[in-house]
Amino acid sequence: MGIAAAVRVLPHRTMRSLFMSLSHRRSLARLAVRSPLTRPVVARFVAGETIEEALTAIAALKQAGMHTTVDVLGESVTSPELAAAAADRYVATLPALASRGLDPNVSVKLTQMGLDIDPEVCRDNVTRIVDAARAVDGFVRFDMEDHARTDATLAIWQEAHESYPKTGVVIQSCLRRSAADIERILAAGGSVRLCKGAYDEPRSVAYLNKSTVDANYAKLMERLLTSGSYHALATHDPRLIARAIEIAERGGIGPDRFEFQMLYGVRRDLQRTLVERGCTVRIYVPYGHEWYPYFMRRLAERPANVGFMIRAILKEEGRRVRGR
């Protein structure tokens, strides 16, 4: 059995835990960033390390009929200065997008804005980003991280939303609390991006069985679709996508009233199919030098990505050996 095939037969939760653990290994991050073998693989899932590289990729997606949201990579900063620098990159990204006629739409992780250092530092940085979005009539989505930060994320989102309504937040169907959180967000007039969840959570707060997570996603998805407001469904699962389309068609919910969100480089065939069908599709486009934690979470979520990575590295290594 080949390496890629062996990886595919590991239990999904074992794979997830392994790669989530590796995502925090700084020594591996330094090695991965320096290695030329990783670059062609990472390029599949990350739109570049600079804003110029990202703008080129985003323009190509727009040409293909897709919308975008931009993630300037980085998380869990260790000082107020690093958090401010991360916010600076968002403040520069929003007008750069608008000036090119691209969606001034960004997704922000609050640990990157200093949440774990000082909530007030985080709030100050969020305010600067929201002000930059307001200046270009843009949109800010607050990404959801692990369960320990859910309450703080919702609180900061609500403060931002009261100041500037074009903000939204992410809810994860793996968490047991999510139905109640959605009702709170709907009552506040907020916009939800529904995803399954990418963090290794304890059983006390999360559903660990994939079928239960999927069933909860389907239930929450129907609540959002029939709520009368605009939401985003982040999934690559064809069954859930088909279910969403069925609910929309049955309820007379047009494609201008919700969107599918998918990750840059993942199921590009499905992205194109949905656009051709007339669905609204938004691609989550990450860029930046600090791509390692993001990349490892993508491997944790989809074992097929691991096989793709290993095959690409072996192929690249084969070329190098033959070229000696």
pLDDT of residue 184: 98
3-state DSSP assignment of residue 172: strand
pLDDT of residue 45: 84
pLDDT of residue 2: 44
Each residue of 187-224: b (16+ CB within 10 Å) or e?
eeebbbbbbbbbbbbeeeebbeeeeebbebbbebbebb
**Dihedral of alpha carbons 145, 272, 57, 265, sign:** positive
Averaged pLDDT, groups of 10, the chain, 324 residues long: 45 51 47 53 82 96 98 88 97 98 97 96 98 98 96 98 98 98 98 91 94 97 98 96 98 97 92 97 92 66 55 47 50
Known catalytic residue: 124?
Answer: no
Q: Are 41 and 309 within 8 A, CB to CB? A: yes
pLDDT of residue 49: 86
Domain boundaries, the chain: 1-44+299-324, 47-290
Nearest by Cα to 293 from 50, 66, 75 = 75
- Looking at 3.20.20.220, 3.50.50.60, 3.40.50.150, 3.40.50.1000, the CATH number of the domain 47-290 comes to 3.20.20.220
DSSP secondary structure code for residue 165 in this structure: S
Known catalytic residue: 151?
Answer: no
Q: Is the pTM of this model over 0.85?
A: no
Rg (CA), the chain: 19
* Active-site residue, selected from the candidate residues 71, 143, 181, 214: 143
